[in-house]
Structure 1
Amino acid sequence: MSLYNIGKRVLYRGFPNKSSMPIRHYKVLSIETSCDDTCIALLEKNDSKAPPKIIDQVKSTLNSVATGGIIPTDALRFHQTTLASLIETLLKKHNCRPDLICCTRGPGMAGSLSAGLQLSKGLAVAWGVPLIGVHHMLGHILVATLPKSEQPDLTAPQYPFLSLLCSGGHTMLVLSKSITDHEIIANTADIAVGDSLDKCARELGLKGVMLGRELESYVNSIKQSTIQKFDTMETKESNLNSFKYKLGLPLKGPRREKYPKDIVFAFAGFLSSIQSYKKDKGGLNVVLDQETREFISYKLQEHVFDHIIDRMNLAFTKHGSNKRKYEHADGKFLGVKDLIFSGGVASNQRLREKLATRLQFQDNDGEVTDLNLHFPDLSLCTDNAVMIGVAGIEIFESLRIKSDLGVCPIPKWPMDSLLDVEGWVNVTPEEYNQVIQNK
């Protein structure tokens, strides 16, 4: 059997039609250790036409409050002391031995990735089952194919579709035409939105493990009457508000090209705005009074999310399908009807609200139309092992490939190079049948 990669199409020989293959109950152990979360999940695949079922999942997070951030060696040690016992407990609880193992191969922190990948290799050898090394961001995308408790009537996204991936390590708009064909439409020019929110929250004096979520909670605790007052104040110039705080949208201004060659996000400036303000008030160690902290927190979160909306609408216009109405439109988004919103920041309800009401996607006639917005369940937005299992199952069943046992972590793995890395090998029909028939 041979695998031929022709451009972005993947052709397979040696297998009968997928619909004729017997699909029954096979169980999948999935592992995610790309950063500071030790995540495992047990999934079951019952039907070739239905998404996998989540049997159970467990997550343990390193407490990094005392260190003021994630230290890679601490994360590695945490995974090493936590992962094996979590797996043992989960498998004993459900009295099973998995038929397939899926784990995160990248991108992420090298040590953290190694902890999960090396243990997965050992289990694959011990059990004699295939191993799938999964791209972390592909997991964030494909988890949206699972049924959603808040959107029970929404069908799974259909190719081609768009994905907005917002997390502590990534912020990108991706066009997906197949499981192997992904084009990055917009990426961050500096730091990711989750990283920016975390750093801004820490600069504002908030405490916690997930500071972006702490910032959201803090903003949500502000009285509505205070919010209404804040909404009347502008921040484009410091003299437009009583707090003398200046904050505008990045990459805007008369000197900026209207339709730049590369569309990017930029989030580093939000932290700089807070630091500059504190320096003017007496130094970085100055303690802000409650009303000032509420004002900056609220305006900051609003501007961060408005920046995301602004860049996405720019991408929609530039890559719209109506070439006759807009000379700059290149038709790249022709046929797109679905937008997936995933990643840790995707759990923020305010950003979800803005996406649902302020996007301006254009149809073939140049008219603004609604996309089908896919919001994974909140527990599946942040890093989790379920998404790794979902992506691994799709790779195994659709592409009929697995990871060689000599693979290494890929800390930097471009989203548009899923198959262009060493370590993919073909799954033989015998191996495939062994998994799906439990032979």
Structure 2
Amino acid sequence: MIVLGIETSCDETGVALYDTTSWENHAPAHQGILGQALHSQIAMHRDYGGVVPELASRDHIRRVLPLLDDTLHEAGLKLRDIDAIAYTQGPGLAGALLVGSAFAKSLAQGLNLPSIGVHHLEGHLLSPLLGGSVPEFPFIALLVSGGHTQLMLVSGVGKYQLLGETLDDAAGEAFDKTAKLLGLDYPGGAAISKLAEKGQSGRFDLPRPMLHSGDLDFSFSGLKTAVLNQVKKFEALGITDSDEIATFHADLARSFVDALVAVLVSKSEKALRQTGCKHLVLAGGVGANLQLRAALNASAKKNRFEVHYPPVNLCTDNGVMIAFAGALRMLAENNGSTTSGAFDIKPRWDLASNNLT
């Protein structure tokens, strides 16, 4: 079964084709990727310091059809070769989701194909199955992105239990807001990580929010505020030396990353202990962060668990994860659960509410 995946939840337009033959024959899952194309809107939104929903929606409209053509060309396929269509139903920006839903449903109706709405986070947490090191069910998934920070117990496809989540800012939001405080371009995650590599650990005693809360929830707004306070204190000194300013920024970035990573790793370790799982999956845009990966690798070696990552190019939003998640859903449901003809979207959508029965 060849599944077309459409991703338009926020500021990336992704299209991909996935063939389930490899999965059904227990071959490496990544062999099923037939073609993919992705367009990022980062350059368009950078001037505004964040995503502008109306601009995002309009750009998805412009990009999705050419990206489909590129994907079909890469795969050497025609529209008639597609067996089903998966699209991101939510969560995300309403207008952006509506573009993908309308496009997918219209195409499915025109080709007389089944279509299935996919939960965006399900796409992320299943994407490590496309990597070289495949986790075994059950596993713990640490989802870290611009809009979400969650720990999930994944017992199988469509079997998810929320263990903990952020009570305020997501990790990605904290990265972006801290980057803005330090005068870095949007999006801030990669910029902060790169700057932190030049910094010295321990210069600033930043809080590690909810590190000892006793639960698996997160909070990062206080960490962001602590960074703001340090910036204000430094600016009050009136220092104008460029080297000293650069050193301050690098050291503060390092302290910020160290604090955030310490919380994510500690909560992940606790989730593994509580559930008895031996496999941890890191997924979402922040999953590409080198400091976080290094800390998780060190923890895995020390505490004897295995950590798994999606391919780096599949950490950000993309069509492959939607095609793959949609394909696994349809296989699990024997192709019996497809969405209606309406352009149904769910800007707010709890993943656990979408479990298979």
Question: Does 1:391 find its partner at 2:344?
Answer: no
Supply the RMSD in Å over aligned alpha carbons: 2.3
Determine if contact 1:312/1:359 at 8 Å carries over to the other structure: no
Determine if contact 2:300/2:307 at 8 Å carries over to the other structure: no
Q: Post-superposition, which runs of at least 4 consecutive aligned residues in structure 1 deviate over 4 A?
A: 285-288
Partner Cα separation in structure 1 for residue 203 and residue 194 of structure 2: 23
How far did 1:406 drift? 2.0
Q: Residue 115 of structure 1 corresponds to which residue in structure 2?
A: 99
Say how many residue pairs are matched.
Answer: 342
Partner Cα separation in structure 2 for residue 54 and residue 316 of structure 1: 31
Q: Residue 351 of structure 1 corresponds to which residue in structure 2?
A: 292
Q: Residue 59 of structure 2 corresponds to which residue in structure 1?
A: 78
Does the C-alpha gap of structure 1 residues 108 and 102 become closer, same or farther in structure 2, counting only changes over 3 Å? same
Partner Cα separation in structure 2 for residue 92 and residue 158 of structure 1: 34
Q: Residue 126 of structure 1 corresponds to which residue in structure 2?
A: 110
Partner Cα separation in structure 1 for residue 239 and residue 111 of structure 2: 57
Counterpart of 1:218 in 2: which secondary structure?
A: helix
Counterpart of 2:327 in 1: which secondary structure?
A: helix
Pick from 189, 192, 196: which aligns with 1:212? 189
Counterpart of 1:409 in 2: which secondary structure?
A: coil
Determine if contact 1:249/1:307 at 8 Å carries over to the other structure: yes
Q: Residue 40 of structure 1 corresponds to which residue in structure 2?
A: 15
Counterpart of 1:263 in 2: which secondary structure?
A: coil
Determine if contact 2:239/2:245 at 8 Å carries over to the other structure: no
TM-score of the superposition, structure 1-length normalised?
0.73
How far did 1:315 drift? 3.4
Q: Residue 233 of structure 2 corresponds to which residue in structure 1?
A: 280
Q: Residue 207 of structure 2 corresponds to which residue in structure 1?
A: 248
Q: Residue 120 of structure 2 corresponds to which residue in structure 1?
A: 136
Partner Cα separation in structure 2 for residue 158 and residue 378 of structure 1: 20
Report the residue type matching 1:280 in the other structure: K
Partner Cα separation in structure 1 for residue 278 and residue 272 of structure 2: 12
How far did 1:141 drift? 1.4
Counterpart of 1:70 in 2: which secondary structure?
A: coil
Partner Cα separation in structure 2 for residue 219 and residue 272 of structure 1: 18
Report the residue type matching 2:153 in the other structure: L
Partner Cα separation in structure 1 for residue 98 and residue 216 of structure 2: 33
Pick from 329, 338, 351: which aligns with 1:415? 351
Q: Residue 7 of structure 1 corresponds to which residue in structure 2?
A: none
Q: Residue 5 of structure 2 corresponds to which residue in structure 1?
A: 30
Partner Cα separation in structure 2 for residue 125 and residue 65 of structure 1: 37
Partner Cα separation in structure 2 for residue 90 and residue 168 of structure 1: 27
How far did 1:281 drift? 3.9
How far did 1:113 drift? 0.7
TM-score of the superposition, structure 2-length normalised?
0.89
Partner Cα separation in structure 1 for residue 281 and residue 16 of structure 2: 22
Report the residue type matching 2:220 in the other structure: F
* Equivalent residue runs for 1:258-407 within 5 Å: 259=214, 262-282=215-235, 289-317=245-273, 319=274, 333-334=275-276, 336-358=277-299, 369-400=303-334, 401-407=337-343
Determine if contact 2:18/2:35 at 8 Å carries over to the other structure: yes
Determine if contact 1:167/1:345 at 8 Å carries over to the other structure: yes
Any unmatched runs of 5+ in structure 2? none
Q: Deviations over 1:299-320 (max 9, x none)?
A: 1111110111222234345x2x
Report the residue type matching 1:143 in the other structure: S
Report the residue type matching 1:235 in the other structure: F
Q: Residue 5 of structure 1 corresponds to which residue in structure 2?
A: none
Question: Does 1:180 find its partner at 2:139?
Answer: no
Q: Residue 167 of structure 2 corresponds to which residue in structure 1?
A: 189
Partner Cα separation in structure 1 for residue 210 and residue 109 of structure 2: 51
How far did 1:249 drift? 1.1
Q: Deviations over 1:332-362 (max 9, x none)?
A: x14x2221111111111110110111359xx
Pick from 137, 145, 161: which aligns with 1:167? 145
Any unmatched runs of 5+ in structure 1? 1-25, 149-153, 237-246, 320-332, 361-367, 425-439
Does the C-alpha gap of structure 1 residues 192 and 162 become closer, same or farther in structure 2, counting only changes over 3 Å? same
For the pair shown, which has the larger CA radius of gyration, 1 or 2? 1
Determine if contact 1:101/1:130 at 8 Å carries over to the other structure: yes
Determine if contact 1:309/1:359 at 8 Å carries over to the other structure: no
Counterpart of 2:352 in 1: which secondary structure?
A: coil
How far did 1:61 drift? 1.2
Counterpart of 1:313 in 2: which secondary structure?
A: helix
Partner Cα separation in structure 2 for residue 79 and residue 277 of structure 1: 39
Counterpart of 2:116 in 1: which secondary structure?
A: strand
How far did 1:39 drift? 0.7
The structure whose residues are more often helix, as a share, is 2
Q: Residue 437 of structure 1 corresponds to which residue in structure 2?
A: none
Determine if contact 1:161/1:176 at 8 Å carries over to the other structure: yes
